[in-house]
Amino acid sequence: MNRSELERLTAQLLSGNLAQEDFIEQLAQPRSAALGETTLDLDRQRRCGFPEVVFGEGKTVAALEKIFRRLLEEDMPVLATRVSDEKAAALTEMFPQGVYHLTARTFRIAPHGSQADLSRIGRVIVVTAGTSDLPVAEEARETLDWMGVATEMLHDIGVAGPHRLLEKLHVFEDADAAVVAAGMEGALPSVVGGHVACPVIAVPTSVGYGASFGGVAALLGMLNSCAANVVVVNIDAGFKAGYVAGLIAHQRHPTPAGA
C-alpha cells in the first residue's frame, strides 16, 4: 500500500469514519493495479519477499512505462527481463536513473532514483560452460544483484577443459548455491555438483549445433544428472535460476526483524 492510500485510511480511522475491523480488512487485502492490458500484483513482495518481476518480451514501451512508474510509486525496485536494446533506449529517456545490461537484456531502477543498496548478503557462484552462455548467466547475476545477493562469476570452464574447474574449486567454499549455465550436451552442472557441497541450479542454454535441439539435449542431460545436489530450470531461464539461488541465500542469511 502506498503512502497516500495509507494516510487516507488512517485519517478515516482516526476521524471515526472507518471502523477498526474495516481498517484491518483493507490493509490485509491483496492489492493489484489495473494498468490497461496489464494487471500488476502489488502484494507479491509481502507474500513472497520480492516485488513482481516484469517479463519485457512482447510488452510495448508504453506498457512497461506504466508498470515501472507504478512499482516506483510503491517504493519497489524494478527488474525487467528480456528487454531489447531498442526498448531500453526509449525507457532510458523516460527513466534516466535506470540501468540497462545489454548482455543480460535486463532493465533495473532503484526506487525514487536513489542509488541501489550496495550491501549484499550470502554468496552465489554463477558459472558458464562457455562464453556463448553469458547472456543467460548474466541474467541470473543481474537477478541476484537485484535481490541483494553477492555473486562471483566463473567464465568458460566447460568440460572440454576439466582442469579449469579444478583450478577454481576453492571459489565454491562456503557458497550458498551455484548457478551453472551450459549448452551443448549440458554436462557441466553434474561435474560441478560432484565437487561442491552447495545446491547447484542447472540452466540449459540453447547453445549448440543441430542435435542439441535448441537446448533440449542439455535439458535432458541435466534432468538425468547423477549428482544429487543438481536441480534444473527451463532452457535459457537465467532469471529463474538466479531467483531460486537468491531465495536459498536469503534463507541462509535472514535479515533481522526491523533491519
From 19-33, 188-202, 205-219, 228-242, the region with the lowest mean pLDDT: 19-33
Residue 12, C-alpha cell as written in the block? 478515516
Residue 213, sorted as left (phi over 0), alpha (psi -120 to 50) or beta, turns out to be left
**255 falls in which pLDDT band (50, 70, 90)?**
confident
Largest CA distance in the chain: 73
What is the average pLDDT score of the chain?
Answer: 88
pLDDT at 73: 85
Distance CA 41, CA 57 (A): 18
pLDDT digits (tens, 9 = 90+) for 223-245: 999 999 999 999 999 999 999 99
Where do the domains of the chain lie? Answer: 31-113, 121-252
CB 53 within 8 A of CB 142: no
- Give the tens place of pLDDT for each residue, 12-21: 888 888 788 7
If you write DSSP's letter for every residue of 154-167 in order, what string do you get?
Answer: E-S--TTSTHHHHT
Q: Is 152 helix (H, G, I), strand (E, B) or coil?
A: strand
Please report how many Cα atoms fall inside a 13 Å half-sphere around the Cα of residue 181, on the Cβ side: 31
* pLDDT attached to residue 258: 46
Positive or negative, the CA dihedral 224, 229, 232, 236 is negative
- pLDDT of 196 > 80? The answer is yes
By the 8 A CB rule, do 168 and 192 touch?
A: no
pLDDT of residue 116: 52
The DSSP letter of residue 171 is G
Provide CATH code, domain 121-252. 3.40.50.1970
pLDDT for 46-91, tens place per residue? 888 888 899 999 999 999 999 898 889 888 899 999 999 999 999 9
Compute the distance between CA of residue 25 and CA of residue 18 in angstroms, rounded to an integer. 11
Answer yes or no: is pLDDT of 42 > 80: no
Torsion sign over Cα 124, 129, 132, 133: negative
Q: What is residue 3's predicted lDDT score, i.e. its pLDDT? A: 62
> Is residue 113 over pLDDT 90?
no
User: Which positions ≥6 away from 115 have C-beta within 8 Å?
Assistant: none
Instruction: Write phi, then psi, for 84 (nearest 5 degrees).
Output: -70, 160
Candidate from 133-142, 154-163, 242-251 with smallest mean pLDDT: 154-163
Instruction: Please state the rounded mean pLDDT for residues 149-164.
Output: 91
| pLDDT over 70 (residue 140) | yes
Q: In this predicted structure, what is the pLDDT of residue 44?
A: 80
